[in-house]
Chain A
């Protein structure tokens, strides 16, 4: 059975067949006459035509359209992960230190409410994705692949025209500077000049020296999105994840209106955060999820098969009631 993608192209090929059938029949004599009178032009034109017809065509976007994220993996992305859950991220100790200050109430601070996800997180987030190509009207060369995420209306421009990289003093942005190219039908993207951001919504940071490499691969109605983040400050090795999207043929993009309001009354200048002594709240989720505390904060060593043997040597977690008492005590302090 043909995949939907192949079916699409097969239908298109069928369309071309119709053109073959209805093409204007040209008699041999007519062509010979043309050849005699216009042989130079004809040979040249045939060469051009042959070149056009036989060149590999990769610069077309097989990704255009609307895509729904699949939540069959890392479903905690929807509500947001528990505090302190950095499992699956090759974080450094510096990253853990910075991340543990994160408090979920930070998103209720008016001046932070409408900030979009940075590009290093965006496609791991929630909501529909739209992809479309932009072509230069004069040359019909592909100049951009654009992505639009429903959540926070984050738009990225992936430059396909080989333009010069911005100078090092140019401002870093939430989406950064993305340059792309096609490898076959895989879209390959490199991004830098990104603002300090996060790899997960619960605080593990990325520095402004972060770079990201991505691959968008289409298998019929499935798109696999591979994200590789390099950060010399907060990651000990490239953080590689793959996320799946499914194609939707009938879709529309709605808006994500965001207006900053004071949702939680608090003193002027107060910023929700955890102080370094507040550690119990960071492991409460580990107890509830039955994850050993030693593994809860992630790290490259926890992501390989041999860690399964090490887990068996770890002491059992303390009871939830004990941890909750500590949470309350630390809140009072």
Chain B
């Protein structure tokens, strides 16, 4: 009896092993070699598939670079910005009479400024960011078709996309990758920028600048909601290397602290 049982067990295990090997191949063969085609029809609106919620009122908490952000730095103080010789030359042209210029509130500098932000969905495929300091408005479009060709401007043309974790391979490497992990963040690429400043004392960026930003939300240990924006400024004209910073904003319950401060020109 025991011997019969042992034979049966061995047989089942053997079959299972064989089937495992073979079906591994079969499963692998049966997988589509191309990514599955998207469902017919237009993609769902960006708002509908958003992995994070950036809407609301936010206040910049200036915990880094305090002296270069809260104050107008002295003439010629461009510490830690990778300016090239041409950039330094332009920065040195700045005078205190220019303090308060809107050039400090262009897209490549705005998110580094001490300001409050109001973020809303302008429509299901466009995010609007307004600032009280500098009174600027940025539009982040999820559809390229919505970006109209126009002259360079302080806020430029911003194309937004949700970036999500990609699936990873496991085990033998046979078969398709598993489901991707949850989560995701917002990536924004901005071009068509008019020349502006990275700091209020005239540290310049040029018209060929490309700005790349990554937005991610997170809670602090007390439960308050924050977002971090990691910013890469690529400027072949005035920078010798990309300028990399990250800035943090804490959510406020409403707009009661909103205090518009216009900039000059």
Residues of A within 8 A of B (CB): 3, 5-6, 9, 12-13, 15-17, 19-20, 23-26, 30-31, 34, 37-38, 40-42, 44-46, 49, 52-58, 60, 70-75, 87-89, 182-186, 211, 213, 215, 217, 219, 222, 224, 226, 228, 230, 237-244, 246, 289-291, 295, 298, 302-308, 311
Chain A residues with Cβ below 8 Å from B94 are none
Chain B residue at smallest Cβ distance from A41:
B16
Chain B residues with Cβ below 8 Å from A186 are 183, 216
* Cβ contact within 8 Å between A41 and B61: no
Indicate which residue in B27, B116, B226 contacts A53 across the interface (CB closer than 8 Å): B27
* Cβ contact within 8 Å between B167 and A57: yes
Chain B residue at smallest Cβ distance from A35:
B19
- B95 within 8 A of partner (CB): no
| Alpha-carbon distance A239/B62, docked complex (angstroms) | 10
Known contacts A31-B22, A56-B180, A73-B245: does B185 contact A305 (CB below 8 Å)?
no
Chain A residues with Cβ below 8 Å from B214 are 217, 219, 222, 224
Q: Which residues of chain B in 1-33 are interfacial with respect to chain A, using CB atoms and an 8 Å cutoff?
A: 12-13, 15-16, 18-20, 22-29, 31, 33
Q: Can you sample 14 A-B contacts with CB below 8 Å?
A: A41-B16, A45-B19, A53-B178, A72-B82, A73-B64, A75-B79, A87-B66, A213-B221, A217-B185, A224-B230, A224-B246, A295-B66, A302-B66, A305-B60
* Cβ contact within 8 Å between B114 and A305: yes
| Alpha-carbon distance A89/B225, docked complex (angstroms) | 19
Chain A residues with Cβ below 8 Å from B166 are 5-6, 9
* Cβ contact within 8 Å between B70 and A302: yes
Chain B residue at smallest Cβ distance from A24:
B25
Chain B residues with Cβ below 8 Å from A17 are 33
Indicate which residue in B19, B73, B222 contacts A41 across the interface (CB closer than 8 Å): B19
* Cβ contact within 8 Å between A290 and B18: no
* Cβ contact within 8 Å between B173 and A26: no
Sample of 15 more A-B contacts, CB < 8 Å, known A41-B13, A70-B244, A72-B245: A19-B28, A41-B19, A53-B170, A56-B182, A58-B181, A72-B80, A87-B67, A88-B63, A185-B165, A217-B228, A228-B220, A239-B63, A242-B246, A242-B247, A305-B60
Chain A residues with Cβ below 8 Å from B115 are 305
Chain B residues with Cβ below 8 Å from A222 are 214, 230, 232, 244
Chain A residues with Cβ below 8 Å from B216 are 186, 217, 224
Question: Interface residue count for B (Cβ, 8 Å)?
Answer: 81
* Cβ contact within 8 Å between B80 and A26: no
- B130 within 8 A of partner (CB): no
Least Cβ–Cβ distance between B255 and chain A, in angstroms = 13
* Cβ contact within 8 Å between B67 and A246: no
Indicate which residue in B23, B62, B82 contacts A42 across the interface (CB closer than 8 Å): B23
- B176 within 8 A of partner (CB): yes
Residues of B within 8 A of A (CB): 12-13, 15-16, 18-20, 22-29, 31, 33, 59-67, 70-71, 73-74, 79-82, 114-116, 132-133, 163, 165-171, 173-185, 187, 214, 216, 218, 220-222, 224, 226, 228, 230, 232, 243-248, 250, 257, 259
* Cβ contact within 8 Å between B33 and A26: no
Give the interface SS of chain A, mostly helix, strand, loop or mixed: mixed
* Cβ contact within 8 Å between A16 and B65: no
Known contacts A87-B67, A305-B59: does B22 contact A30 (CB below 8 Å)?
yes
Least Cβ–Cβ distance between B138 and chain A, in angstroms = 17
Chain B residues with Cβ below 8 Å from A213 are 220-221
Least Cβ–Cβ distance between A190 and chain B, in angstroms = 8
Which one of A15, A38, A291 has the highest number of Cβ atoms from chain B below 10 Å of its Cβ?
A38
Chain A residues with Cβ below 8 Å from B184 are 184
Indicate which residue in A45, A88, A211, A303 contacts B221 across the interface (CB closer than 8 Å): A211
| Alpha-carbon distance A41/B244, docked complex (angstroms) | 55
Chain B residues with Cβ below 8 Å from A56 are 178-182
